[in-house]
Amino acid sequence: MDILIDQDTLATRITSLGREIREAHGEDASIVAICVLKGSVLFFADLVRAIGGDVRLEFLGVSSYEGTSSTGEVRITHDLRTEIRGRHVVVVEDIVDTGLTLSFLLKALRVRDPASLTVAALLDKPSKRTVDVHADHVGFSIDDHFVIGYGLDLDEKYRNLPFVAIYRPGVG
């Protein structure tokens, strides 16, 4: 595998993303950060520390319906444990590819009436987008590669790599 984003580069960028998110909300704002399982777990853990201040952690499990991922039908497998009405919510995603998952999530969360709803994504693959959706805070915009590591998997493998790498079939 080829390392695309190494540990130091991840750490530096996430520190500034955290500052950016804190500044956008104000020093005293209470933020509900939503970790979209499982891909954003590692990014989430680093990002919430970089945001600092009052940040509440919530987890949302989603999975694509079998065989219909291209239609963007997504199912919530683990729901939030708290109400987000009137709260400042930041959805933390690993990667925005076609945008179908994010589009579904935003619709599902918007109806719960948060005070604000923004998105932080570690990676963005703009060339793959099929729906008009974007993250407000993006770590890195990347070309159309299948990437693994730092939470991202291939059949549940490689999530624990501390860097982001380009997956090369038949290697590693």
CB 92 within 8 A of CB 32: no
Task: Say which of 28, 97, 144, 153 is annotated catalytic.
Answer: 97
**First vs last C-alpha separation in the chain:** 6
**Residue 100 interacts with ligand IMP (CB under 6 A): yes or no:** yes
Q: Contact with ligand IMP (CB under 6 A): which of 44, 101, 149, 164?
A: 101
**Residue 39 interacts with ligand IMP (CB under 6 A): yes or no:** yes
CA triple 144-147-151, angle to 5 deg: 140
**Closer by beta carbon to ligand IMP, 56 or else 145:** 145
Residue 157: closest CA among 2, 10, 42, 39 = 39
**Residue 152 interacts with ligand IMP (CB under 6 A): yes or no:** yes
Residue 136: closest CA among 90, 86, 87, 98 = 90
Residues near 164 by beta carbon (within 8 Å), at least 6 away in sequence: 3, 4, 5, 10, 122, 123, 140, 147, 148, 149, 150, 152
Would you call 97 a catalytic residue per the annotation? yes
Which of these ranges, 17-25, 26-34, 43-51, 100-108, lies near ligand IMP under the rule CB under 6 A? 100-108
**Closer by beta carbon to ligand IMP, 98 or else 116:** 98
CA distances from 113 to 60, 85, 117 (A): 17, 5, 9
Shortest distance, position 147 Cβ to ligand IMP, whole Å:
4
Shortest distance, position 42 Cβ to ligand IMP, whole Å:
13
Shortest distance, position 70 Cβ to ligand IMP, whole Å:
8
Note the residues at the interface with ligand IMP (CB under 6 A): 39, 93-102, 146-147, 152
User: Which residues are catalytically annotated?
Assistant: 97
